[in-house]
Amino acid sequence: MGRFKKETAKGTPKINTASLPDIIFMLLFFFMVTTVMRETTLYVRTQLPSATEIQQLERRSLVSFIYIGPPLQSQVFGTEPRIQLYDSFASVDDIASFIESERQATAEAERPLMTTSLKVDSETRMGIVTDVKQELRMVNALRVNYSTLRGEVAGIR
Amino acid sequence: MARMSPEINAGSMADIAFLLLIFFLVTTTMDVDTGINRMLPPPIDPNAPEPPPVRERNVFVVLVDAQDRLLVEGEPGRIDRLREQAKHFLLNPDNDPSLPVKETVDIDHIGPFEVSRGVISLQNDRGTSYEMYIAVQNELAAAVREIRDDVSREFFGVRFTELRDEELVNSVRRAVPMAISEAEPKDIGGR
């Protein structure tokens, strides 16, 4: 009887999981360092065009984003390109107050370094973009960044 | 035997870490923001005196219409030739009297240098597609960048983007200014 008992007690050896939290924490820290927080939920499609002469945007805290593109929920909002500021649709007239509120949130010394990043869908017509640019000029937000991906330019082979 | 401190059960530690990990995976994005940097022209003061007219030979006019067609200096152009044309205009290698004048300026670290007074004027229609607009902007920026590369190689032996010294970068910038201006918007072709 004793012999049988001995065999059943053996079983499979337990895997030591003591270092599992360490591994997971390592992954966690990796992701915390390499990624940035999602700031807004996009309601418009912004399939960016690609370009070669691009620079990286630094200091994300000094960048305000303007999204322009056809609404994702086209059954509800139609297909005409719309402007999105923060978390909602906006019109061209809202841009001045948007820039002003972004300025208020920035230290005075850093205001000249503020950049507006235009994330515009590549199929958008320039009309709405021109309106936005004119509005930005009016409020003296002159530094813009046309957001693009890295890649070959359309139309050149 | 001395009393042992009771061991804390760390079995759920992995679960907690997993939870945090998944939270960060969901709420963050990995993309870095890249794009073409531009300065918009300052708003026009209605009381300001008319700016002096720019001489015709100093302006390189690029028009993009609602069908994404190019008109370069009054002639139909192609996007894949735009970069060469813009470079030729800015450099004016043969001192052609119809191409921009060059002004000799004394620049730190470079010395006397013939700075082109040429300006590229980009005008688009409300119906131009954004993709085409970016393509044109990119080609014009590439033309300037290539000239800067050449100047930088000639004087400092490295490409412009590899220049680390801020002073040298500014010298090259002065020698080859990013002279791309955007005209006041006009509605030519409708939507």
ipTM: 0.79
Contact state of B130 with A129 under an 8 Å Cβ cutoff: yes
Residue type, A107: A
Tell me the average pLDDT across B130-148.
90
Kindly report whether the global pTM for this prediction surpasses the value 0.90: no
Confidence of residue B191 (pLDDT cuts 50, 70, 90): very low
Please report the pLDDT score of residue A116 as a whole number: 92
Contact state of B79 with A155 under an 8 Å Cβ cutoff: yes
What is the β-pairing status of strands B75-77 and B70-72?
Answer: antiparallel
Residue type, A100: E
Tell me the average pLDDT across B155-171.
86
Q: What's the alpha-carbon Rg for chain B, to the nearest Å?
A: 26
Which structure tokens are listed for A11?
């079983």
Segment A76-94, tens digit of pLDDT: 888 888 999 988 898 889 9
Nearest CA in chain B to A37: B28
* pLDDT value at B188 more than 60: no
Residue type, B84: E
What is the β-pairing status of strands B34-39 and A143-147?
Answer: antiparallel
Q: How many Å lie between the alpha carbon of A8 and the closest alpha carbon of chain B?
A: 25
Confidence of residue B190 (pLDDT cuts 50, 70, 90): very low
Contact state of B135 with A155 under an 8 Å Cβ cutoff: yes
Q: B18-22, B161-165, B183-187: lowest mean pLDDT where?
A: B183-187
Chain B residues near residue A57 by CB distance under 8 angstroms: 32-35
Q: Which residues pair with B121 in a beta bridge?
A: B61, B181
* pLDDT value at B38 more than 60: yes
**Which SS3 state, helix, strand or coil, does residue A114 take?**
coil
Q: How many Å lie between the alpha carbon of A42 and the closest alpha carbon of chain B?
A: 13
* pLDDT value at B186 more than 70: no
Q: Which residues pair with A41 in a beta bridge?
A: none
Q: What is the mean pLDDT of chain B?
A: 83
Contact state of A127 with B145 under an 8 Å Cβ cutoff: no
**Which SS3 state, helix, strand or coil, does residue A120 take?**
strand
Tell me the average pLDDT across A44-71.
88
Instruction: Choose among B16, B35, B125: nearest Cβ to A126.
Output: B125
Please check whether residue B89 is in contact with residue B99, taking contact to mean a CB–CB distance below 8 angstroms. yes
**Residue ranges of chain A assigned to CATH 3.30.420.270:** 50-150
Q: Is A15 on the interface with B (CB under 8 A)?
A: no
Chain A residues near residue B145 by CB distance under 8 angstroms: 53
Confidence of residue B164 (pLDDT cuts 50, 70, 90): confident
Confidence of residue A119 (pLDDT cuts 50, 70, 90): very high
Please check whether residue A63 is in contact with residue B34, taking contact to mean a CB–CB distance below 8 angstroms. no
Q: How far apart are CA B131 and CA A34, in angstroms?
A: 30
* pLDDT value at A38 more than 80: no
Ramachandran angles phi, psi of A127, nearest 5°: -50, -50
Domain A50-150 has CATH 3.30.420.270: yes
Contact state of B134 with A145 under an 8 Å Cβ cutoff: no
Give exposure, B79-96, as e/b (b: 16+ Cβ within 10 Å). Answer: beebbebbbebbbbeeee
Contact state of A125 with B34 under an 8 Å Cβ cutoff: no
Chain A residues near residue B38 by CB distance under 8 angstroms: 144-146
Nearest CA in chain A to B131: A122
Chain B residues near residue A83 by CB distance under 8 angstroms: none
Q: Is A19 on the interface with B (CB under 8 A)?
A: no
Please report the pLDDT score of residue A2 as a whole number: 54
**Which SS3 state, helix, strand or coil, does residue B85 take?**
helix
Q: Is A63 on the interface with B (CB under 8 A)?
A: yes
B128 exposed, middle or buried (CB, 10 Å; 0-12, 13-18, 19+)? buried
Segment B54-111, tens digit of pLDDT: 778 888 889 888 888 888 888 888 888 888 889 888 888 888 787 888 888 888 878 8
**Cβ-Cβ contacts under 8 Å for B90 (sequence gap 6 or more):** B60, B100, B116, B118, B120, B143, B144, B147, B176, B179
Chain A residues near residue B41 by CB distance under 8 angstroms: 137, 142
* pLDDT value at A44 more than 60: yes
Q: How many Å lie between the alpha carbon of B4 and the closest alpha carbon of chain A?
A: 20
Contact state of A144 with B25 under an 8 Å Cβ cutoff: no
Contact state of B10 with A21 under an 8 Å Cβ cutoff: yes
Q: How far apart are CA A48 and CA A153, in angstroms?
A: 11
Q: Which residues pair with A36 in a beta bridge?
A: B29
Q: How many Å lie between the alpha carbon of A63 and the closest alpha carbon of chain B?
A: 10
Confidence of residue A99 (pLDDT cuts 50, 70, 90): very high
Instruction: Choose among A28, A32, A146: nearest Cβ to B36.
Output: A146
Confidence of residue A67 (pLDDT cuts 50, 70, 90): very high
Confidence of residue A71 (pLDDT cuts 50, 70, 90): very high
Q: What's the alpha-carbon Rg for chain A, to the nearest Å?
A: 26
Q: Is the dihedral of CA A68, B186, B140, B180 positive or negative?
A: negative
Q: What angle do CA B122, B123, B129 make, to 5 degrees?
A: 105
Instruction: Choose among A51, A133, A138: nearest Cβ to B36.
Output: A51
